């Protein structure tokens, strides 16, 4: 009951900084790490930590927690055996990654490995949480290169047509961000990353997804390798024809 009440309080943005100032973090981390607490209690504690991570004013205190182990603790919880705990740990990463001072710190501390394992999961909610976290991290140019170097692109593409809109759109946006790096573009083409982008350029559920897909495809299809590959060349021509048709109708 106590944890449920604390979680309910954390859902109000005005309480975020106050709760951290009142030193709630040690108690929450103690619950998550305790061998005596149930997974239900651990999930409530992790959900609360995730809510508190939404406020940038808390980020430094989270990072400095227990001799600067806060970030490492959250990353480690992305490996936790209970799905609900690692889902909210990944959400915490997503919220922390909006901070320009932490977005690289997260990858430096090794967050990409547990996120990669989560993306491989057969459970849609686990994959979705990892994709959102990865998309947030990919907004940083240095991270874009690191994500590709960790061989995450083929794992993302395996889920690109999973039938879940939230995952498919998240992957499309992540690929669009990764393609901002010249180093990554050939890798995306090599693994067939143009295929989900073509689909979302035409049928994406949001304007952002469609526009980003179109923009990335225009860059990808200009690559030397794209011009030599017959399959890619046909796809590029089909994409250009479809783009012309849509523009003529608008």
pLDDT tens for 66-117 read: 998 999 999 999 999 999 999 999 999 999 999 999 999 999 999 999 999 9
Phi, psi of 8 (to 5 degrees): -60, -40
- pLDDT bracket for residue 214 (50, 70, 90): confident
Closest-CA residue to 62 (of 93, 107, 37) = 93
Give 7-56 pLDDT, tens digit per residue.
999 999 999 999 999 999 999 999 999 999 999 999 999 999 999 999 99
What's the chain's length in residues?
250
Q: Is the pTM of this model over 0.75?
A: yes
Least confident of 92-106, 175-189, 223-237: 223-237
Q: What is the pLDDT of residue 25?
A: 96
Q: What is the mean pLDDT of residues 191-216?
A: 82
Residue 228 pLDDT exceeds 70 = no
Least confident of 23-32, 97-106, 210-219, 240-249: 240-249
Let me know: does 224 contact 208? Beta carbons within 8 Å.
no
Q: What is the pLDDT of residue 205?
A: 83
User: Which of residues 218 and 108 earns the better pLDDT score?
Assistant: 108
Least confident of 109-118, 163-172, 207-216: 207-216
Q: What is the pLDDT of residue 242?
A: 62
Report how far residue 72's alpha carbon sits from residue 150's, in angstroms, rounded to the nearest whole number: 19
Let me know: does 79 contact 86? Beta carbons within 8 Å.
yes
Half-sphere exposure at residue 246, Cβ-oriented, CA atoms within 13 angstroms: 12
Residue 244 pLDDT exceeds 80 = no
Residues 6+ away with beta carbon under 8 Å from 123: 83
């Amino acid at each position: 009951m106590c944890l449920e009440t604390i979680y309910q309080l954390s859902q109000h943005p005005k309480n975020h900084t106050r709760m951290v100032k009142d030193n709630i973090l040690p108690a929450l981390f103690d619950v998550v790490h305790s061998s005596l607490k149930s997974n239900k209690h651990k999930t409530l504690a992790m959900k609360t930590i995730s809510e508190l991570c939404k406020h940038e004013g808390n980020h430094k205190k989270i990072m400095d927690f227990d001799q600067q182990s806060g970030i490492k603790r959250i990353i480690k919880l992305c490996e936790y055996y209970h799905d609900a705990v690692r889902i909210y740990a990944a959400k915490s990463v997503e919220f922390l990654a909006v901070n320009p001072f932490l977005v690289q710190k997260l990858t430096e501390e090794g967050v990409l490995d547990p996120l990669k394992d989560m993306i491989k999961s057969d459970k849609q909610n686990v994959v979705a949480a990892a994709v959102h976290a990865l998309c947030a991290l990919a907004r940083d140019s240095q991270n874009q290169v690191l994500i590709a170097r960790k061989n995450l692109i083929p794992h993302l593409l395996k889920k690109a047509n999973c039938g879940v809109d939230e995952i498919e759109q998240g992957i499309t946006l992540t690929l669009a961000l990764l393609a901002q790096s010249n180093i990554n573009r050939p890798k995306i083409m090599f693994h067939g990353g143009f295929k989900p982008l073509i689909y979302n350029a035409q049928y994406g559920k949001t304007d952002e997804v469609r526009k980003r897909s179109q923009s990335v495809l225009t860059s990808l299809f200009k690559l030397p390798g794209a011009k030599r590959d017959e399959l890619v060349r046909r796809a590029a021509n089909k994409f250009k024809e479809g783009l012309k048709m849509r523009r003529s109708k608008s």
